[in-house]
Amino acid sequence: MTNILDDYALMSPLRHRNNWLKLAIVLFGLLVGVSSTSPITPFFIALCMSFTTIVLGRAPFKLYLKLLLAPLGFAITGVIIIAFFSGSGHELLSFELIGYPLSVKADGLELALLVLSRSLSGMCCLYFLSLTTPMIELFAVLKATRLPESVIELSMLIYRYIFVFLDMALSIRYAQTVRLGYSNFRRSIHSMGMLGSTLFIRTWEQGDKLFLAMNSRCYDGKMTLFEVHRPLRATELVLTFAYFLSTVILFYFTKNISIV
């Protein structure tokens, strides 16, 4: 099976740190990043989260970049639209495209950078959590917050079977490939249709097997989750407090600063 985020989270040294502290750091970063009126603070949060994930969490640098590229591509598309079609102030760039005038104004570029920085900080915060905390431990923390058990259990099953069916789809596709199922366009369309139909049938069968297996083990609508209690260390608290304090100070002193 292909490596998933949980594989890297299980190998991360930060896995053995307090989960509540990591969750607090992520929530703090998300709230401050969204609340910031200047791109400087969200970029600072993204830099700190990336450094912690790669250097302290030992996540592979290339993997981290690949994870950022997909959502960042959508964010950049929206940022380009915002930069060209919104804002006021003096023009920074102006040209014509197929006879249609386009221009980038100061306020529009400032807003585009703010949106990009907020998106980047949010992504870095979430990747920090997912690359340093196994999902089963995160589900246990969520259960301790008194979230509805049905929501947590449904999320667990969905998360688990996403990768079960992904592994199944990759196995089927590999079998089709070695039989030249994707040698031309016509065969590719036929193979993709067969892959979809087979995966649907396998999904149905796996659902039935799961239902029977859970009933045979006296499933009563509740899954037992054991939370791992890890003590807070003084160094962790000091570093977290320093990060919080520096971020809040930066947030306060840059709230009215424009970088354009």
What pLDDT score does 255 carry? 84
Residues 124 and 23 placed together within one structural domain of the fold: yes
Q: What is the mean pLDDT of residues 65-93?
A: 84
Instruction: State percent of the chain over pLDDT 70.
Output: 97
Please check the confidence at residue 2 and state whether its pLDDT lies above 50: no
Residues 126 and 235 placed together within one structural domain of the fold: yes
Q: pLDDT tens for residues 83-112?
A: 888 777 777 777 777 777 777 888 888 888
Please check the confidence at residue 253 and state whether its pLDDT lies above 70: yes
In a domain, 258, yes or no: no
What pLDDT score does 143 carry? 82
CB 106 within 8 A of CB 90: yes
pTM for the full predicted model: 0.81
Range of the domain at 97: 5-133+231-253
Residues 39 and 126 placed together within one structural domain of the fold: yes
More confident residue, 92 or 186: 186
Residues 146 and 206 placed together within one structural domain of the fold: yes
What pLDDT score does 183 carry? 86
Residues 151 and 63 placed together within one structural domain of the fold: no
In a domain, 259, yes or no: no
The number of folded domains in the chain is 2
Q: pLDDT tens for residues 120-164?
A: 999 999 999 999 998 888 888 888 888 888 888 888 888 878 877
Q: Is the dihedral of CA 125, 127, 130, 132 positive or negative?
A: negative
More confident residue, 255 or 228: 255
Residues 153 and 111 placed together within one structural domain of the fold: no
What pLDDT score does 154 carry? 83
The per-residue b/e assignment along 162-183, b for 16 or more CB within 10 angstroms, e otherwise, is: eeeeeebeeebeeebeeeebee
Residues 114 and 151 placed together within one structural domain of the fold: no
Please check the confidence at residue 171 and state whether its pLDDT lies above 70: yes
CB 22 within 8 A of CB 236: no
Q: Is 115 helix (H, G, I), strand (E, B) or coil?
A: helix
More confident residue, 83 or 222: 83
In the numeric block, which tokens belong to residue 250? Answer: 């930066």
Confidence of residue 247 (pLDDT cuts 50, 70, 90): very high
Q: What mean pLDDT, rounded, does the chain reach?
A: 86
Q: pLDDT tens for residues 7-51?
A: 888 899 999 899 999 999 999 999 999 999 999 999 999 999 999
What pLDDT score does 260 carry? 66
Residues 63 and 150 placed together within one structural domain of the fold: no
In a domain, 225, yes or no: no
What pLDDT score does 3 carry? 58
What pLDDT score does 107 carry? 83
CB 58 within 8 A of CB 78: no
Confidence of residue 1 (pLDDT cuts 50, 70, 90): very low
Residues 164 and 54 placed together within one structural domain of the fold: no
| 53-57, 89-93, 186-190, 201-205: least confident range | 89-93
